[in-house]
């Protein structure tokens, strides 16, 4: 997905949900902070979103421009409905959101996760594609170990999970 495609999803999601603020939490949130992110970080064709002011309308958005919709067939990318609790995130993540608002979003603001918050959520999800995504962030010097460890401390996790994520973070930065 390219930045212009994310902007299109933000604009369309806002129109469908009648909300001028859309939260983007999945991997394509990287395009908020890094509009020209490396290609290996942009392989996903969906943007995980929910309307900020009425998250329940995420399903309405997915019904209109989600996977298998005519929007998806026409453009090759789509919106995936998620909820406010879909991703486990550090405290105060909302204060670090990166706003995407320009002529392409037509007055709708997409709020994308900051890169370290995104990486923490990926490390907690533990899927192989998420770990590969974070490895790419490290490879391109887009995240810092110190910030990752600080954000981990700010994340509500049980002891074993916190230890596992800490170990994964430390192993990623061993080079």
d(CA 114, CA 165): 18
d(CA 76, CA 29): 18
Rounded to whole angstroms, what are the CA distances from 111 to 10, 24, 78, 115, 149?
A: 9, 6, 17, 12, 23
Q: Cβ contacts of residue 93 below 8 Å, gap of 6+?
A: 113, 114, 117
Q: Return the ∠ at Cα 151 (arms to 140 and 23), rounded to 5°.
A: 80
Per-residue pLDDT of the chain (175 residues; tens, 9 = 90+): 999 999 999 999 999 999 999 999 999 999 999 999 999 999 999 999 999 999 999 999 999 999 999 999 999 999 999 998 899 999 999 999 999 999 999 999 999 999 999 999 999 998 999 999 999 999 999 999 999 999 999 999 999 999 999 999 999 997 5
Q: Which of 7, 2, 8, 3 is nearest to 71 (CA)?
A: 8
Please state the pTM of the whole predicted model: 0.95
Helix (H, G, I), strand (E, B) or coil at 98: strand
* Structural Rg of the chain based on CA atoms: 16
Beta strands at 109-112 and 98-100: parallel, antiparallel or unpaired: antiparallel
């Amino acid at each position: 997905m390219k930045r212009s495609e994310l902007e299109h999803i933000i604009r369309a999601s806002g129109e469908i949900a009648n909300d001028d603020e859309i939260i983007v939490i999945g991997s394509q949130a990287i395009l908020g902070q890094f509009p020209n992110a490396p290609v290996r970080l942009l392989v996903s064709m969906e943007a995980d979103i929910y309307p900020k002011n009425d998250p329940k309308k995420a399903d309405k958005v997915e019904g209109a421009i989600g996977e298998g919709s005519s929007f998806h067939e026409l453009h090759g990318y789509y919106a995936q409905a998620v909820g406010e609790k879909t991703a486990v995130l550090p405290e105060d993540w909302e204060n670090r959101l990166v706003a995407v608002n320009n002529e392409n979003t037509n007055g709708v603001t997409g709020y994308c996760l900051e890169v370290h918050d995104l990486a923490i959520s990926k490390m907690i999800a533990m899927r192989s594609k998420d770990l590969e995504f974070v490895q790419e962030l490290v490879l391109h010097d887009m995240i810092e170990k110190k910030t990752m460890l600080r954000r981990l401390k700010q994340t509500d996790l049980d002891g074993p999970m916190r230890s596992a994520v800490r170990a994964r973070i430390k192993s990623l930065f061993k080079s």
